């Protein structure tokens, strides 16, 4: 009995009208160890979707977050949705409070609507 190869869901980055990939650019601005930690978490989501806590949490209306603890003793979130078989990274940020800021949530929801139209 042959085993099925791992199913990988592609990750795409939200792109502004001008072409800038804001989540990818945010990741590139992080130091290498933090960027690597977030990349591993995104890869886990790609290969294990659907994933629940503690790695992913549903935020409602098709919005999810990847929850990353960084080597720099900070916490990062990448907000994403799944659209047409792809993980769409909509927004990324470093958490500074226990609750995710409403502005970050609103931005991700706005980008999700824009991407889906």
**Rounded (10°) CA dihedral 108, 31, 19, 81:** -30
11-116: what fold? Answer: YaeB-like fold (3.30.2310)
Q: How confident is the model at residue 100 (pLDDT cuts 50, 70, 90)?
A: confident
Encode pLDDT of 7-23 as tens digits: 899 999 999 988 899 99
Q: Give the span between the Cα atoms of 48 and 7, in whole angstroms.
A: 8
| Omega before 54 within 30 of 0, i.e. cis | yes
Q: Give the span between the Cα atoms of 94 and 76, in whole angstroms.
A: 4
Cα separation values, 99 from 33, 48, 107, 112, Å:
24, 26, 15, 20
Q: How confident is the model at residue 3 (pLDDT cuts 50, 70, 90)?
A: low
For the cut 60, the answer to whether the pLDDT of residue 28 exceeds it is: yes
């Amino acid at each position: 009995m042959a085993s099925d190869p791992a199913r990988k869901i592609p990750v795409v980055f939200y792109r502004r009208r001008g072409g800038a990939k804001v989540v990818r650019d945010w990741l590139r601005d992080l130091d290498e160890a933090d960027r690597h930690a977030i990349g591993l978490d995104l890869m886990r989501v790609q290969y294990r979707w659907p994933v629940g806590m503690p790695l992913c949490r549903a935020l409602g209306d098709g919005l999810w977050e990847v929850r990353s603890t960084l080597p720099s003793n900070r916490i990062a979130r990448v907000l994403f949705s799944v659209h047409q078989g792809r993980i769409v990274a909509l927004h990324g940020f470093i958490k500074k409070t226990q609750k995710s800021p409403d502005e970050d949530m609103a931005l991700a929801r706005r980008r999700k609507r824009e991407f889906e139209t």
